[in-house]
Amino acid sequence: MSARAIKVTVNGVAYERSVEPRLLLADFLRHTLGLTGTHVGCEHGVCGACTVLVDGDSARSCLMFAVQADGARIETVESLGTIGQMNALQEAFHEHHALQCGFCTPGMLMTATDLMRKYPLASDDEIREGLSGNLCRCTGYEHIVRAVRAAVGRAKDAPS
């Protein structure tokens, strides 16, 4: 049960910390590093609120231990933008009213970020399918789908 030393890069910043093996990555981010943008809803993989990127791929941070992230590159919602300078996906969420209480939003944003890289998201059905692992109790999803659709459109229009 002895603590382990790990090195992780979170949002571009390198950290060295000592962690107990049972510490979940979500709790490491929130409590050890103070990055409270990552939310914790269910702790069993069902709600998606805790989704982060691990070496570029979305993952549930409640289903990984911090020790497993040794050597990894983690990105959380804090990496996307700031209030003054939101990224295109965040802008789209803002414009389309894709959040109310905001609890699900970090997970929605990190999930959509990975979805947009991996799938064409050509139809609303495909967007809904992609977001189906993220629960929102406020919006009824319609506005979130609209926001992602807008962000996909913008990414397509953007000069590459």
Ligand X SMILES: Cc1cc2nc3c(=O)[nH]c(=O)nc-3n(C[C@H](O)[C@H](O)[C@H](O)COP(=O)(O)OP(=O)(O)OC[C@H]3O[C@@H](n4cnc5c(N)ncnc54)[C@H](O)[C@@H]3O)c2cc1C
Give the nearest distance from C-beta 160 to ligand FES in angstroms: 32
Helix, strand, coil share of the chain (percent; to 5): 40, 15, 45
By beta-carbon proximity to ligand FES, the closer residue of 60 and 96 is 60
Give the nearest distance from C-beta 132 to other proteins in angstroms: 4
Where does the chain have alpha helices with state H?
25-27, 88-95, 105-118, 124-131, 142-157
Tell me, residue by residue from 9 to 48, as one string, x for binding to ligand X by CB under 6 A and - for no binding.
------------------------------------xx--
By CB under 8 A, residue 120 contacts other proteins: no
- Do 116 and 79 form a contact (C-beta atoms < 8 A)? no
Whole-angstrom Cα distance, residue 68 to residue 99?
32
Q: How many residues bind ligand FES (CB under 6 A)?
A: 22
By CB under 6 A, residue 130 contacts ligand FES: no
Rg (CA), the chain: 16
* DSSP per residue, 71-106: T-EEE-GGGT--SSS--HHHHHHHHTT--SS-SSHH
By beta-carbon proximity to other proteins, the closer residue of 95 and 124 is 124
By CB under 8 A, residue 124 contacts other proteins: no
Site residues for ligand FES per CB under 6 A: 40-43, 45-50, 60, 62, 99-104, 136-139
Site residues for ligand X per CB under 6 A: 45-46
